[in-house]
Amino acid sequence: MYTQVIRTHNDGPFHFKKIENASHVIKAYNPICGDRFEIFVDSNSKKINSIHFHGFGCAISKASTSVLMQSLDGRTFQEAITICYNFLKFINKELSTDELVLQDEFLAFSGVHDFPERYDCATLSWMEMKKFLDQIESR
Amino acid sequence: MSLSIHSIKSQFPIFTHRPELVYLDNAATSQKPQSVIQAIANFYEKENANVHRGLYELSGNATRRYEEVRKKVSRLIGAPDPKTIAFTKGTTESINIVAQCFLKKNLQKGDNVIVSAMEHHANLIPWQQVCEQTGAALSVIPVDANGELRLENLDSLLNAHTKLAAVTHISNVLGTINSIEDIISIAHKKNIPVLIDAAQSAGHDRINVKNWDVDFLAFSAHKMFGPMGTGVLYCKEEYAEQIDPLNFGGGGIKNVEFGQTEFLNYPHKLEAGTANISGVIGLGCAIDFVAQLDTNQMVAHTKNLSDTFTNKLKSIGKVQIVGNAKNSGSIVSFNLENIHPHDVAGFLANENIAVRAGHHCAQPLLESMGMPATVRASFSIYNTMGDVEKAIEALKAFKKFWL
């Protein structure tokens, strides 16, 4: 479960800081375990210029949020949606390893397939981000 | 009867099916002995019938067995009469009944209800909500850094407008054993009724509602070796009439007309609908199981395990023990420096060690102590020193792997 990628992202998460005046702040909170992150999106109408996060959570949720930041930084909303869908499909076992292009770091979370108790940890921020992106795109 | 852990453990089939399991999540639910499992299966295999008003033998037997458990519960908690015992779904429902069916009609703006800062959500939210519904205020007895209630504040919190105080016997996070008799005697000087949440103590520690002069007591069967979905509300006789039914339906009634219904007395008025009869029979069997053990030895055994675990934990280093009350039970909450409790519990899970991580349904308590979550190990009579050793070794390995 605790792969090197997860350990590395947990110890030194990507873009881990609070941003004042971000265009959007997305809250990812799991009341069952108390994990709580805020995701700060700086964007224009089409593109995520930069994305940061801050908060408290276990190594799996923190690392998965860090990978989310790394994956979406500088992406268009359209690209971001595809990436989110791919990650969630991979965690849900609806996408084979071969179909995962360019996102090697997703593989680090394949341990969730054997530990369904940690499903929420791996998907918490991704689900909230997907909800946010779906809303943006449906406008 | 002397306590032989080996013979006790062998009565719990889960450890035969899962010999590797180190089960340290007893504060969440206990495992069930063969006798309880068998009693429930026997009821459905050989004795199944609905209680009350059946004229055939099976129904009569089911009724007798169901009512017999009221007597067993009375003996377990030192209640003066079986008619003070109502069967509920569990601690949560018992407390909600007192909040909604007893307290609410007497509660108004300007009144207040007292809880302690170490309540789990089941003994907090029912009071918080009834206060919100009526405009009353909720006051909180604070907890000190050791995890003990600051009872010197209690007298000043209780006033002429206090309608009830609700306090846990044993904290499910800190293991603190509260001075129930002191709390009740302070409250009773001002004629304030007291509800005691005995979810963690019933069947494990001595309870005597008569000697303590408790007004209401709530607990669940499933934390004391009984089945899930069954619990108890004890209500002192002087308040029994003031409790209204929670559910309306078949049973619990004296006379029904299209225009009105006359209800039976407590406890039957709380038991409308078909009761969890097999659950109540299972509870009776769990009480029989506990009765064959020596309470002092049980308490000494689990206390010895939790004390040993705590001391060994401290020697690992970089460990914070949460709660250091002088009088505490078989529950140990802790954190390893800068490591999220879920990661500790997740690692232990890989080693077949079951502990709990999170806020343990006591979010305000942990937030007031400045931490979002802890790891909790809770011990029961079937746990061994071997379990303590395995957990400590796993934690040492985890620390080496992580830090």
B143 shares a domain with B268: yes
The residue out of B266, B291, B316 marking a domain boundary is B291
Task: Please list every residue in chain A whose beta carbon sits closer than 8 Å to the beta carbon of residue B347.
Answer: 2
Report yes or no on B32 lying in a domain.
no
Helix, strand or coil for residue B90? coil
Task: Please list every residue in chain A whose beta carbon sits closer than 8 Å to the beta carbon of residue B358.
Answer: 32-34
How many structural domains is chain A composed of?
Answer: 1
Check pLDDT > 70 for residue B93. yes
Lowest-confidence segment of A30-34, B148-152, B237-241, B337-341 by average pLDDT: A30-34
Q: How far apart are CA B126 and CA A128, in angstroms?
A: 30
Domain extent, residue A100, equals: 4-138
CATH number of the domain that residue B323 is part of: 3.90.1150.10
| Of residues B153 and B285, more confidently modeled | B285
Could you report how far apart the first and last alpha carbons of chain A are, in Å? 38
Task: Please list every residue in chain B whose beta carbon sits closer than 8 Å to the beta carbon of residue A3.
Answer: none
Identify the pLDDT of residue A99.
Answer: 66
Domain extent, residue B218, equals: 37-291
Using CB atoms, pick whichever of A1, A32, A58 lies closest to residue B340: A58
Check pLDDT > 70 for residue B171. yes
Check pLDDT > 80 for residue B361. no
Average pLDDT, whole number, for chain B?
Answer: 94
Using CB atoms, pick whichever of B343, B349, B358 lies closest to residue A34: B358
Interval A9-29: pLDDT, tens = 999 999 999 999 999 999 999
Report residue A130 as tokens: 């997907």
CATH number of the domain that residue B83 is part of: 3.40.640.10
Residues B8-38, buried b or exposed e (16+ Cβ, 10 A)? Answer: bbebbebbeeeeeebbbbbbbbbbbbebbbe
Using CB atoms, pick whichever of A2, A56, A62 lies closest to residue B372: A56
Report residue A118 as tokens: 């940690």
Identify the pLDDT of residue A102.
Answer: 54
Report yes or no on B227 lying in a domain.
yes
Report yes or no on B29 lying in a domain.
no
Average pLDDT, whole number, for chain A?
Answer: 89
- pLDDT-derived band at B1, boundaries 50, 70, 90: very low
| Of residues B360 and B274, more confidently modeled | B274
Instruction: Quote the crossing angle between the two packed helices A119-138 and A77-91, to the nearest 10°.
Output: 150
pTM of structure: 0.91
For B162, B215, B219, the CA distances from A99, given in Å and listed in that order, are 65, 64, 53
B166 shares a domain with B81: yes
B313 shares a domain with B286: no
Task: Tell me what percent of the residues of chain A surpass a pLDDT of 90.
Answer: 62
The residue out of B238, B271, B291 marking a domain boundary is B291
Lowest-confidence segment of A20-24, A49-53, A115-119, B183-187 by average pLDDT: A115-119
DSSP secondary structure of B265-314: PTTGGG--SS--HHHHHHHHHHHHHHHTS-HHHHHHHHHHHHHHHHHHHH
Lowest-confidence segment of A53-57, B163-167, B193-197, B361-365 by average pLDDT: B361-365
Query: Once rounded to an integer, what is the mean pLDDT over residues B155-172?
Result: 96
Query: Once rounded to an integer, what is the mean pLDDT over residues B143-149?
Result: 93
DSSP secondary structure of A60-71: HHHHHHHHHHHH
The residue out of B265, B291, B317 marking a domain boundary is B291
Interval B32-79: pLDDT, tens = 999 999 999 999 999 999 998 788 999 999 999 999 999 999 999 999
Backbone angles phi, psi at B96, to 5 degrees: -60, -35
Task: Please list every residue in chain A whose beta carbon sits closer than 8 Å to the beta carbon of residue B340.
Answer: 56-59, 62
Task: Please list every residue in chain B whose beta carbon sits closer than 8 Å to the beta carbon of residue A118.
Answer: 346
Report yes or no on B236 lying in a domain.
yes
Instruction: Calculate how close chain B gets to A123, using CA atoms only, in Å.
Output: 15
How many structural domains is chain B composed of?
Answer: 2
Among all residues of chain B, which has the CA nearest to that of A32?
B358
- pLDDT-derived band at A106, boundaries 50, 70, 90: confident
Report yes or no on B69 lying in a domain.
yes
Residue for token pair 């006789």 = B237
Query: Once rounded to an integer, what is the mean pLDDT over residues A89-95?
Result: 86
Helix, strand or coil for residue B323? coil
DSSP-derived pairing of the beta strands B331-336 and B353-354: unpaired
B390 shares a domain with B323: yes
Determine, for residues B373 and A57 on separate chains, whether the beta-carbon distance falls below 8 Å.
no
Check pLDDT > 80 for residue A123. yes
Active-site residue, B235 included? no
B284 shares a domain with B298: no
Report yes or no on B403 lying in a domain.
no
Instruction: Calculate how close chain A gets to B188, using CA atoms only, in Å.
Output: 37
Among all residues of chain A, which has the CA nearest to that of B345?
A58
* Best to test chain A binding among B25, B121, B343 (most A CBs inside 10 Å): B343
CATH number of the domain that residue A39 is part of: 3.90.1010.10
> How many residue contacts between A and B have a Cβ separation below 8 Å?
40
Task: Tell me what percent of the residues of chain B surpass a pLDDT of 90.
Answer: 86
Among all residues of chain B, which has the CA nearest to that of A59?
B343
B219 shares a domain with B142: yes
| Residue B220 and residue B200 in contact, taking contact as beta carbons nearer than 8 Å | no
Query: Once rounded to an integer, what is the mean pLDDT over residues B244-262?
Result: 88
| Residue A70 and residue A105 in contact, taking contact as beta carbons nearer than 8 Å | yes
Backbone angles phi, psi at B328, to 5 degrees: -140, 160
Identify the pLDDT of residue A62.
Answer: 95
For A72, A83, A97, A123, the CA distances from A102, given in Å and listed in that order, are 13, 10, 11, 19
Determine, for residues A33 and B373 on separate chains, whether the beta-carbon distance falls below 8 Å.
yes
B341 shares a domain with B198: no
